Structure 1
Amino acid sequence: MNTALVVGLPTTVVSAALYGVAPLIQAMAARREEAGTGLGLGLLARLATRPLWLVGLAVEAGSFLLEVYALSVAPVALVAPVMALDMIVFTLLARRLLGEHISRGGWSGVGLMVVGVVLLAYAFQHHAEVGSPAGNDVLLAFLVLGLIFSLLCAFGANLASARQQIAGAALGFGLAAGVSYAIATLATRQIGLAVNERRNGDSTLIDLLSTPTPYLLVLFSVLALGLEQRGLQGRAAVIAFPVTSGVSAFLPVTLGLTLFDEPAPDGPRLIAFVISLVLVAAGIAALGRDRSAANRSIEDEEAPADAPTDETHSGGTHSGGTYPGGDARSGGRHSADTVVGAGANYGSMGGEGGYRRFDGTDEDDEGWPGSASPGGPRLGGSGSVPRGAQGRGPEAGSGDRFGLVRDPLRSAQG
């Protein structure tokens, strides 16, 4: 066994665990804020003053330091896929804190990812060199191409949001955040390699300041955070999070093997490596469904107790749906609105009739559009709710699913 497996792999697992905790904290903080717009940088600025979100950021910072160390002793082709284990930690933590049931598909996803990591360890058992650092010209190319791609995806996501296409908007934010995180990972790899060179006495960390590395890391980390918060607001998280995790996990693997001279496993270990990536990807897809259920539980905690059990909206009818006001851990569920299984409508509005007024009163808002249309899940409209309209319920067709936010802690604090 080599250093990459003995030290790098356990360090990566701990880093991934912390990354799994951070989004849950950040999502709870993000939903207490007003609507995000554009790239989400304004939302990010507001969140930077919120203690709860800063706790999540501190957890993420600790994970980053561990990731730097892992990348100083292990190749990114090993580290990046293992970082996708953050989804397992998030789902298990949501199950513990929110009382959310993990489906058979979710447990299958956990198993697939664990087996994938075991196969990764086998694939890199003998050869796990860290490869060569990227040149400044390559880093500048990442800067330009990454910005163009992320901005185009964010622009498309905002257009999809305005057209009430929640799936398209979530996909756009997820892709943009995933690519931004992937480039930030490659910049982190540069720092890890610098730590390795410093360990060997070949250079100092100060030398990094004369390269694009630290600036690339800061730029794309901030951009990724802002885009991720846009995705975490509302039901976009149920689609955006798996997309973000998948892209940020596998793009660095591809670049590490093709551009940075990281040796690929050979023989049977190459087959194990390919299978491991397939298993991790399948696990991400399977766990994405249970991530959506965990996201739903956060919203269920807000539903008022006196909401009607059979409410017809302009977009569909809730047949027997109940909106409990108690904590989701007490077992309250939406009987007609659970997002589980193939073909489930991620954008189903089953509980959205239970939105409270923004003026803090207990009077329910007017009804929202109901279930998703046959063409796909729907947003409630485009644009955030202006302050002048906060005293009245949203009309049918108004209100951005990425904008209207709620306090997931209200019922727990009551």
Structure 2
Amino acid sequence: MTAAAVTVRAPAATGEHAGIVASAIAVLSALAAACCFGVAAVVQQAAASGMPETQSLRPRLLWELAHRPLWLAGIAMAAASYFIQGVALAFGSLVLVMPLASTDLLFALPLIAWRRGQRLTPAEVTGAMCTAGGVAAFLTVLPHTPGAAAPGSWGWLPLLVVIGSLVAVLVSAGLRSPGRRRAGMYAAAAGLLFALLDALTKAAADLLRHDGLAALRHWEPYALLVIGGTGLLLAQSSYQAGSLAISLPLIDTLEPIGAVLIGTAVFQERLASSWALAVQVLGALLAVTGITILDRSPLVRT
């Protein structure tokens, strides 16, 4: 009787252990990706801000930036961040990974302050505490979501239409706006595309993890190139049009919020319910407040 009971319970225990390991890999990878991206954004903005306004939204902007070693260093860090985030999404859900990945400046600001021989201000410390506390509150009550298969091509279509339409409206409005508003419009469009990119990255990572190189037979890996390239151009145009104090708060809030919404709508990932949902909403608001404070720090504006 005892041996049989142990035999019956062993698979469940093994599966639970595998789930814990996968979650640990997802969390650590998401935090590492956040650190890399935060520093990469600051480096890219430092290079892009010196480009002439006439090159905004033009592919030539990327061509000219590619001749600047500082920008290439930022792109290398961003590429590393994207790869690490792909690992996180292969082992964890969008609702788990993206709130953690949005804490980029929580890691970057202390490094930048140390490099410049400065101390973090009380406002920056407060922003860091709000961000960390808000993300922790959001994830503490997050229910476990079993792995869900990515939708078929027709399942992606409504999402692609909605985001494509919103991006078109934002870019059109940005073209008719002055510098600061233009930076905000382009950043909002980039944040939406990055949220879509995160969802496609998860789909492609799942395909690669289960099918290996056969994943290249699907459309998702190639869509990553188009969406990623467009988002990169919009982000660089936003950096060129204004300071990070304008662009990063929008990108850092719209990307994780959009990715979480896509995770629940497209991948059937779950948020909390009843009182725990209120905790998640308050945690998200606290984290957004902290991110806004950090993104307005003089360390990233100059």
Pairwise same-fold verdict (TM > 0.5):
yes
Q: Is the 8 A contact 1:131 1:263 kept in 2?
A: no
Q: Is the 8 A contact 2:49 2:242 kept in 1?
A: no
Q: Structure 2 stretches of 5 or more lacking a match?
A: 1-18
Tell me the amino acid that sits aligned with residue 69 of structure 1: V
Q: Is the 8 A contact 1:160 1:168 kept in 2?
A: yes
**Partner residue, 1:210:** 218
Q: If you compute each CA radius of gyration, which structure gives the higher value, 1 or 2?
A: 1
Q: Is the 8 A contact 2:183 2:239 kept in 1?
A: no
Q: Is the 8 A contact 1:119 1:273 kept in 2?
A: yes
Equivalent pairs, count: 284
Spell out, residue by residue over 1:30-67, the C-alpha distance to the aligned partner (whole angstroms, 9 max, x if none).
Answer: 23433354524321122123332222111111111111
Spell out, residue by residue over 1:8-43, the C-alpha distance to the aligned partner (whole angstroms, 9 max, x if none).
Answer: 111100011101111122122223433354524321
Q: Among residues 145, 149, 160, which one is paired with 1:132 in the alignment?
A: 149
Q: Distance in 2 between matches of 1:20 and 1:220?
A: 20
2:299 aligned with 1:294, yes or no? yes
Identify the structure with the greater helix proportion: 2
Spell out, residue by residue over 1:323-369, the C-alpha distance to the aligned partner (whole angstroms, 9 max, x if none).
Answer: xxxxxxxxxxxxxxxxxxxxxxxxxxxxxxxxxxxxxxxxxxxxxxx
Q: Distance in 1 between matches of 2:225 and 2:46?
A: 24
Q: Distance in 2 between matches of 1:142 and 1:267?
A: 27
Q: Is the 8 A contact 1:88 1:110 kept in 2?
A: yes
Q: Among residues 256, 275, 284, which one is paired with 1:249 in the alignment?
A: 256
Partner SS for 2:148:
coil
**Partner residue, 1:281:** 288
**Partner residue, 1:53:** 71
Q: Distance in 1 between matches of 2:186 and 2:119?
A: 27
Q: Which has the higher contact order (CA 8 A, sep 6+)?
A: 2
Q: Distance in 2 between matches of 1:295 and 1:66?
A: 23
**Partner residue, 1:172:** 185
Superposed CA RMSD:
2.3
Tell me the amino acid that sits aligned with residue 283 of structure 2: S
Tell me the amino acid that sits aligned with residue 171 of structure 2: A
Spell out, residue by residue over 1:241-291, the C-alpha distance to the aligned partner (whole angstroms, 9 max, x if none).
Answer: 11011101110101211221112234654444333222211211222321x
Q: Distance in 2 between matches of 1:280 and 1:255?
A: 19
Which runs of structure 2 are paired with 1:297-316 in the superposition (5 Å)?
Answer: 298=302
User: Higher mean Cα deviation, 141-150 or 183-192?
Assistant: 141-150
Which runs of structure 2 are paired with 1:191-270 in the superposition (5 Å)?
Answer: 191-196=204-209, 198=210, 203-211=211-219, 213-233=220-240, 235-266=242-273, 269-270=276-277
Q: Structure 1 stretches of 5 or more lacking a match?
A: 299-414
**1:160, CA displacement in angstroms?**
0.8
2:123 aligned with 1:110, yes or no? no
Partner SS for 2:296:
helix
Q: Is the 8 A contact 1:36 1:42 kept in 2?
A: no
**1:122, CA displacement in angstroms?**
1.9
Identity, % of aligned positions = 24
**Partner residue, 1:147:** 164
Q: Is the 8 A contact 1:36 1:230 kept in 2?
A: no
**Partner residue, 2:16:** none
**1:137, CA displacement in angstroms?**
1.7
Partner SS for 2:242:
helix
